[in-house]
């Protein structure tokens, strides 16, 4: 449920911009170019957002923990095993 709300709301926002934006462009010689720019902007912004959003769900690189911290956690949790370099 926590993932669904931002996913739907941001996707709906960019869908409204992408589908509704071209309808408000005034008539003129460059209307087609302006409509294309609005649609492409919405698509690119949504794709950038969705890539960042999905990358945060399953990061490729986890947090880096110092060796001293790992040893301290191991001692405190009670599953301390002899380390090779200890």
CB 9 within 8 A of CB 48: no
Digitized pLDDT (tens) for each residue of the chain, 86 residues in all: 688 999 999 999 999 999 999 999 999 999 999 999 999 999 999 999 999 998 888 777 777 888 898 888 888 887 656 666 65
What pLDDT is recorded for position 83?
60
* pTM for the predicted model, two decimal places: 0.66
pLDDT of 1 reads: 65
Which pair of tokens denotes residue 30?
């460059």
Domain boundaries, the chain: 3-77
Radius of gyration of the chain from its Cα atoms, rounded to whole angstroms: 24
Asked if 25 and 38 count as a contact pair (C-beta separation under 8 A), the reply is yes
């Amino acid at each position: 449920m926590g993932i669904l709300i931002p996913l739907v709301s941001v996707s709906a926002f960019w869908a409204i911009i992408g589908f509704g934006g071209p309808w408000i462009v005034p008539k003129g010689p460059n209307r087609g170019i302006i409509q294309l720019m609005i649609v492409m902007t919405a698509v690119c912004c949504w794709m950038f957002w969705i890539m960042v959003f999905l990358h945060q769900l399953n990061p490729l690189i986890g947090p880096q923990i110092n060796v001293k911290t790992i040893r301290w956690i191991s001692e405190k949790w009670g599953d301390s095993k002899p380390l090779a370099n200890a």
